[in-house]
A and B are shown apart, each in its own frame.
Chain A
Amino acid sequence: MEEISVVGQVVGGKFGDIIIRQKSGSNLEIGDLMVSEENGSYLILQVFALEYGSQIQDKMQQMMSGVNLEQGIVDAQFFEPEFVNYVLARIKPLARVYKEKGEVKIPKSLPSFFNKLRLITKDDLKFLHKEKDSIFVGYIRSGSKVIKEAEVWLPSEDVFSHHVLIPATTGRGKSNLVKTILWHVLDSNKVGALVLDAHDEYFGRQGVGLKDHTRARENLVYYTPSNPPAGANRLTINLQSIRPEHFEGIVDFSDAQFQAIRSYFWKQRDTWLTTLMLTSPEAAEDRIAAATMGVIQRKLRLILGLVKDEEGHLVSKHEVFDSATKGFTTVDDIVKDIEQGKVVVLDTSRLGDEAELIVGNIIASKLFEKYKAYKATGELTRKPVATVVIEEAPRVIGVDVLTTKNDNIYSTIAKEGRKFKVGLTAITQLSSVIPRSILANMNTKIILGNEMKQEREAIISSASQDLSEDDKNIASLDKGEAIITSIFVPFAMPIKIPLFEDIVREKGVLTQSGKTKVF
């Protein structure tokens, strides 16, 4: 190793908390990756804490400072300061890479004592190569330095079927990350995705977005309730597609109210919702109390935005639900697209919270039912993995929701979707309110910056790798910086997610020029 590249030397500590002395002028950062060359292999280590070290006693240092500050004239200096004062970095081993085979293993031993360490380079990360049908999430980051030659690709089928959690607070780059992931999902048909886009920000109705992908025409389907841009679909779901169970775990109905709803469904089947909404509460069937009927109608009216028009027909204020002739096949069409490995983005920005979840519930339930059937018939192996991308995930998989209401499709997918190749991609600011059993099932976590200690603790305690020393590291993650912890990566990887706009500029659709042949 050239002396010039050395940044520190192992001077003590224990496994998982090794102490190195920083070479003067090196300026190590939290999160920096460094390498210790060993016999036939090398260890990749990461800085998780920095502190001062000195050969001079504290009291002496304080006295010297007093001289400098109070005397005002004398500028006292240490003799050979780089020898006496220095920085100690606490580092932990992340991986051991065997040079001959290129194997990456979890380290089980310490680096050689007094070994000199250097910062990681692209050549140390050659084991990170793109495999077939993987998705790009970012570049390896060493502290705040980005190693652009070391791209991080995750095996898409495995990652999505085993659920993905993206925990972060506002402004840390969640949307940018989700767009980057979906952009690479569009590259192939190996993963189908249902994206509930509550802010209508992924498609790129204004500005750049997924629509600019070269395969968007084949692989991207966009549904929006009103004024769809050319080529997009109108999000209209016929009320006949809604079944009572779609409200379960989402809307607070009492037992009596649910019984009344089910009773209408059994009697009226497809037209149950329209009939229920158009029946006067006093004329309710099956001895349903007028008050109960009134409450159900009011709740449904508010949630689904339904109003009765002059002719007595039910119409939806936000145009998503239709009681007449439209939207009969929307749910089936969407499920079919997902089954073909397409990304289906639903603009739910005009819907209320519950209506958005119900729309997602209707589609996800159908998708899940079909995938379960495929498993039974042996066709599942030929189907692409499906993922449901949902923001503010605690709305459906939060502790309070799951303890006070029945399971909903999202929690069902989180618990047992993996068996049927259906996964959840959950985005949240509040990981702490998601039950540990579900958090532990989310086998890939892409952790963005989070200043809330409670949230960091929830993430750290459910991570696939030991992040117990990474609390400060996570707190100090800047916008676009993340740590990937997953059963599909050899160690918790610090990454920098590129700006989505840059990806589009580099790989997006080029405007075609020249005449089109017309007939």
Chain B
Amino acid sequence: MSDIHLGFQKHEALQKIEQEVFERAMDQCISCKVDFILIPGDLFHVNIPEMRVQKFAFAKFRQIYDASIPVYVVYGSHDFSPVSNSVIDLLAEVGYITKVTKATSLDDGRIKLDFLVDEKTGVKIAGLSGLKVGKDREYYEKLDRESLEAESGFKIFLFHGGISEMKTESGMDGENMPLSLLPRNFDYYAGGHMHKFNSQNFDGYPRIVYPGALFAGYHSDLEDNAKGQKRGFVLVEFEDKIKNVEFVEIQNTHYKIIEVNAENRMAESVNKELQDKIREIDPAQQVVIIKVQGEMTKGKTADVDISAIRDELNQKGALVVNINKNQLTSKEYCITEAKGANKEEIENNVFTENIGQLRFEQKNLLGESGVQLAKKLLAGLIQQKLENEKTADYNARIKENAFGVLGIDTDAS
């Protein structure tokens, strides 16, 4: 199983589901008496999650350990720790799980990966953790592939990263790498990072499997779940070759999804459709996903009244209300993307290209003076909190900066 992302959910109800799903999946592994469990990355959403998460994770892994089921893990891009200071390392330290990556650096710059052998089955396992942007590719390019490919016996490779050839949708951008970077001739490739179940074979790569997220690791996963995406893990049967790969679904919760197309409409009409659609559903004990997208002809995107909708759904007993307006824009005012050679240039271009859409009486907010003001204001607002600075002091400092840039006398207000 992969991409469990324990600790991702912020809403209490979803946290509960996240924990339950994880526990049920592990219980099922125990009841199936699996020989071992592979987790190719992103077991946790961050490398040191909150104590609540650590507590239930430790408890469950203890049970797995007591059932004599080894768990083989590589870091994912979310729970990676370059200095081995993560909960994964704690779990490995107490012996509940085993980190697979055994990398050594050779004198010629190449990276050698050693196999570990599962005692019960004799399976040879090697793997490489998922790293941050772009770094994976460099590691795979430097991999001593010959030694990995020449190794005899039943071999499994754990990795965390997207494979270009296995993408099913064009929208899945990001740090994908070509399949050819993986060493060949392993019997099974356990992949993490792609959040939808995907199992394929290629020449030299007999079985590459992404079990997908166990519940949700991105906000879009919930939307996919609401649209029917099945979540679970993969049960693999093998002897000297893979015999069967079965996707085992783990139910998570119930969803209702409301989608509204705001293209060429006004905010009022969008609000009305949302209200109508909400009245048609029973949101009690459901995760409600609302998605509004398209370019409105009139009104600001903020005119689509979310708070009223959220209140109404909550009153009717919705478990969670998740509203997505990321793809909602307005012809009246929308920020167009702009490019530049560096940060300053991009900021300047964004302001310059968009300021023409604004209609203010104050002339200093428009044109070149408006751009300069916006840049100054941004520079004031993006300042980081200082070390040991109290939040209240930080807030006051930022406000003061902003008012100063805008020429507003705080005392007068």
Q: Is the interface of A mostly helix, strand, loop or mixed?
A: loop
Given contacts A319-B203, A513-B108, 17 further A-B contacts (CB under 8 A): A231-B141, A233-B165, A233-B179, A234-B165, A325-B200, A326-B165, A329-B167, A329-B169, A329-B172, A333-B164, A382-B339, A514-B109, A516-B105, A516-B109, A519-B82, A519-B84, A519-B129
- Please pick, from B103, B106, B168, the residue contacting A519 in the complex, using a CB distance under 8 A: B103
Nearest CB of chain B from residue A102's CB, rounded to whole Å: 28
Q: CA separation between A319 and B204, bound complex, in Å?
A: 14
Chain B positions within 8 Å of A333 at CB level: 164, 167, 170
Interface digits, A146-157 against B, CB 8 Å rule (1 contact, 0 not)?
Answer: 000000000000
**With A382-B338, A516-B109, A517-B105 as given contacts, are A229 and B180 in contact (CB-CB < 8 Å)?**
yes
CB of B180 within 8 A of CB of A332, answer: no
- Please pick, from A328, A336, A518, the residue contacting B168 in the complex, using a CB distance under 8 A: A328
* A interface residues, how many (CB within 8 angstroms): 31
Q: CA separation between A378 and B349, bound complex, in Å?
A: 14
CB of B180 within 8 A of CB of A231, answer: yes
Chain B positions within 8 Å of A513 at CB level: 107-109
**Interface residue A134 (Cβ < 8 Å from any Cβ of B):** no
**With A326-B165, A329-B169 as given contacts, are A516 and B110 in contact (CB-CB < 8 Å)?**
yes
Interface digits, A321-353 against B, CB 8 Å rule (1 contact, 0 not)?
Answer: 000011111001100100000000000000000
Interface residues of A in 229-243 (CB under 8 A from B): 229-234, 236
Interface residues of B in 171-212 (CB under 8 A from A): 172-173, 178-181, 200, 202-204
Q: CA separation between A227 and B82, bound complex, in Å?
A: 33
A-B contact pairs, 15 of them (CB 8 A): A228-B178, A230-B141, A232-B180, A233-B165, A328-B170, A329-B164, A329-B167, A329-B170, A329-B172, A513-B107, A514-B107, A514-B109, A515-B106, A515-B109, A516-B109
**Interface residue A267 (Cβ < 8 Å from any Cβ of B):** no
CB of B104 within 8 A of CB of A231, answer: no
Chain A positions within 8 Å of B173 at CB level: 336
Nearest CB of chain A from residue B128's CB, rounded to whole Å: 10
* B interface residues, how many (CB within 8 angstroms): 41
Chain B positions within 8 Å of A512 at CB level: 109
**Interface residue A217 (Cβ < 8 Å from any Cβ of B):** yes
Chain A positions within 8 Å of B337 at CB level: 379
**Interface residue B309 (Cβ < 8 Å from any Cβ of A):** no
CB of A231 within 8 A of CB of B178, answer: yes
CB of A518 within 8 A of CB of B111, answer: yes
CB of A230 within 8 A of CB of B167, answer: no
**Interface residue A112 (Cβ < 8 Å from any Cβ of B):** no
Nearest CB of chain B from residue A396's CB, rounded to whole Å: 26
A residues apposed to B, CB below 8 Å: 217, 226-234, 236, 319, 325-329, 332-333, 336, 378-379, 382, 512-519
Nearest CB of chain A from residue B147's CB, rounded to whole Å: 14
Q: CA separation between A332 and B140, bound complex, in Å?
A: 25
Interface digits, B118-156 against A, CB 8 Å rule (1 contact, 0 not)?
Answer: 000000000001010000010111100100000000000
Chain A positions within 8 Å of B104 at CB level: 518
Nearest CB of chain B from residue A239's CB, rounded to whole Å: 15
CB of B169 within 8 A of CB of A328, answer: yes
Chain B positions within 8 Å of A226 at CB level: 203
Q: CA separation between A514 and B142, bound complex, in Å?
A: 12
Chain A positions within 8 Å of B105 at CB level: 515-518
With both beta carbons as reference points, the residue of chain B lying nearest to A518 in the complex is identified as B103
Q: CA separation between A232 and B170, bound complex, in Å?
A: 19
With both beta carbons as reference points, the residue of chain A lying nearest to B339 in the complex is identified as A382
Q: CA separation between A329 and B171, bound complex, in Å?
A: 9
Interface residues of B in 76-129 (CB under 8 A from A): 80, 82, 84, 101, 103-111, 129
- Please pick, from B103, B131, B137, B165, the residue contacting A236 in the complex, using a CB distance under 8 A: B165
Chain B positions within 8 Å of A519 at CB level: 80, 82, 84, 101, 103, 129, 131
Q: CA separation between A512 and B142, bound complex, in Å?
A: 11
Q: CA separation between A516 and B170, bound complex, in Å?
A: 34
CB of A326 within 8 A of CB of B200, answer: yes
**With A329-B168, A518-B104 as given contacts, are A217 and B179 in contact (CB-CB < 8 Å)?**
no
Q: CA separation between A232 and B180, bound complex, in Å?
A: 6
Nearest CB of chain B from residue A347's CB, rounded to whole Å: 13
- Please pick, from B111, B172, B178, B203, the residue contacting A227 in the complex, using a CB distance under 8 A: B203
Nearest CB of chain B from residue A229's CB, rounded to whole Å: 6
Chain A positions within 8 Å of B168 at CB level: 325, 328-329
Nearest CB of chain B from residue A418's CB, rounded to whole Å: 22
**With A325-B200, A516-B105 as given contacts, are A228 and B180 in contact (CB-CB < 8 Å)?**
yes
Chain A positions within 8 Å of B142 at CB level: 516
Chain A positions within 8 Å of B167 at CB level: 328-329, 333
**With A329-B167, A382-B338 as given contacts, are A230 and B180 in contact (CB-CB < 8 Å)?**
yes
Chain A positions within 8 Å of B338 at CB level: 382
Nearest CB of chain B from residue A505's CB, rounded to whole Å: 21
Nearest CB of chain A from residue B11's CB, rounded to whole Å: 32
A-B CB proximity, top 6 nearest: A332-B170, A515-B105, A228-B180, A518-B103, A233-B178, A329-B167
Chain A positions within 8 Å of B80 at CB level: 519
CB of A231 within 8 A of CB of B181, answer: yes
- Please pick, from B101, B181, B202, the residue contacting A230 in the complex, using a CB distance under 8 A: B181
CB of A233 within 8 A of CB of B200, answer: no
Chain B positions within 8 Å of A325 at CB level: 168, 200
Q: CA separation between A514 and B107, bound complex, in Å?
A: 6
